[in-house]
Chain A
């Protein structure tokens, strides 16, 4: 069987030392296969955001092993992890995190600049990504001219433009009202279904998590509920 896309083996992440030691993750093992749509749930402080940061190669485990496509990420330096993010990962954040004084098109172009693509190709790819999220015609709008839902679509287009294997969405609907939230989730679901992009999403809302194909629950740095684990002891 092929190596899964994401594999945690007893991953632990400890902040601080001695008295001030905080165990954000205390030995988590899980696997995520290509094409899955996984929702990670849990109370705040449960370790779900830490797990997302490690999956996103923004952080490294202090113990255990994280394999991305079979490659041990804990052995990669900052530049190698930057390259991994550039070529395989797309991020969607709760606060959208768009560059404020750049247009929607420029925001979507950003990862493509770091990919070293020529301008014409960047613009073409960015337009097509904006088209996929239903924002054709808003290319030259600043984030301030767009609604929250539209801003999050721009962020999704940005994640999409780099042609990633995985989109990591950290509470993508946290700043949106219920109607926009469902629109965003339908969009993510469609990308998962039609483009085959693996999606890992952190949320604490049950109805949002319901869009995912699999629901993982963290508590106190431990994985407390994972259907796959139960099915595959």
Chain B
């Protein structure tokens, strides 16, 4: 009997293909939107976690001024906060909790090799930067201690810069011009892809920090320091030691605010993931509203269908169908319709999410739980919005129904 009811529902749906499709379109769009939102949201969360994890656990970041999300505004009441220098880096390196310190200076540069040129970011740093970032050299070698100490004009290329300047050929040993500085390519970094905000992490060149300071920037400032802690140290200990050291070095009196900030990367990760979750939830709930609208669309068409098929209902009642069986017939039809919509929506949503993931260069992270939930929810939409029309069908008077033209 149940099988007959389902078959009957499919027959009725197939009979009016176009109408059925338009009826479920609302549910399709709703489910697709929810699935796409959640899948892309989860992908970008995974991306944030992965990129923070790639920094290694127990990594601190030391920046001038107070910590804030977003671009540094500089200035403020106290004017430009004081910069760091390489002596700070050396002092931090000897702290008991610290494994490595990578001081960084960045500057926008134009690089030229033969006829090719590219605008990119020049990173001045040390070999420890690669350890802190869990990043490796794909071709060639990293900086030697002598090159770092002397500020030799050598550089490592990110994959994007390498592609721009040399295509697929081996650039190791070639010379490029960084602004006006002639610089030897000693290696190429492995590709890292897009970062948490979709930025290209391979669009850079790495040079010894002294080279950048002396030959490109013209001062001895250090913009920020990335500090890897020893495995035995907790990040709280690390933050404590670094803060105390910097306060001492800068002679900041007790009760006065820090003019630098030490942040735990794991903290940033949890903040980013939190923002991500809120955004995903918000967008999904907007999408869920269209599911509701889709349900109302199904109810509307089912009501029309009951009116059109009044005579059929009369015939069924006359040959011995009970009101319950008629109710079930129309309810199953509504549920089958909305489930079809749900399945189409899931397929469309996953497709959209796949395209979106590729475009945003984030991992495609479909979730079985979300798909199951969307499926269940579309069944629920069918039951809730199919019940009223079905009840109307079941309550028809057989005599009236048979007389209906």
Contacts and interface: CB of A to CB of B under 8 A. Distances in A.
B315 A99 contact: yes
- Size category, B interface: 20 to 34
Interface in B387-405: 398-399, 402
Contact of A85 (B15, B319, B402): B319
B311 interface: yes
A102 to B, nearest CB: 8
A79 B320 contact: no
Contacts of B324: 79
Contact of B322 (A78, A99, A158): A78
Contacts of A26: none
A110 B319 contact: yes
Which DSSP category, helix, strand, loop or mixed, fits chain B's interface? helix
Given A58-B398, A97-B402, A101-B15, A114 B321 contact: yes
A91 interface: yes
A9 interface: no
Interface string B219-248: 000000000000000000000000000000
Contact of B319 (A59, A101, A116, A158): A158
A86 B402 CA distance: 16
A91 B319 contact: yes
A212 B402 CA distance: 25
Nearest to A119: B4
A215 to B, nearest CB: 25
B59 to A, nearest CB: 68
A111 interface: yes
Interface string A53-94: 100101100000000000000000011001101110101010
A172 interface: no
Contact of A86 (B15, B312, B320): B320
Contacts of B4: 113
B314 interface: yes
Interface in A161-185: 162
B315 A86 contact: no
B263 interface: no
A78 B321 CA distance: 10
A35 B317 CA distance: 25
A99 B319 contact: no
B312 A99 contact: yes
A110 B314 CA distance: 13
B57 interface: no
A87 B312 CA distance: 20
Interface string B312-349: 10111111111111000000000000000000000000
A86 B319 contact: yes
Nearest to A97: B315
Interface in A102-147: 110-111, 113-116
B320 A115 contact: yes
A114 B399 contact: no
Contact of A114 (B311, B312, B319): B319
Given A99-B315, A114-B325, A59 B399 contact: yes
A97 B323 contact: no
A79 B315 contact: no
30 contacts: A58-B318, A58-B399, A78-B322, A78-B323, A79-B322, A79-B323, A82-B317, A82-B321, A82-B322, A83-B320, A83-B322, A86-B320, A86-B321, A87-B320, A91-B318, A97-B311, A97-B314, A97-B315, A97-B318, A98-B315, A99-B312, A99-B315, A110-B315, A110-B316, A113-B1, A113-B4, A114-B321, A115-B320, A116-B1, A162-B319
Q: What 4 A-B pairs have minimum CB-CB distances, sorted nearest first?
A: A86-B320, A111-B319, A82-B322, A85-B320
Given A78-B322, A113-B1, 19 more contacts: A58-B317, A59-B399, A78-B323, A82-B322, A83-B322, A86-B319, A86-B320, A86-B321, A87-B320, A97-B315, A99-B312, A101-B15, A110-B319, A111-B319, A114-B320, A116-B1, A158-B319, A162-B319, A162-B320
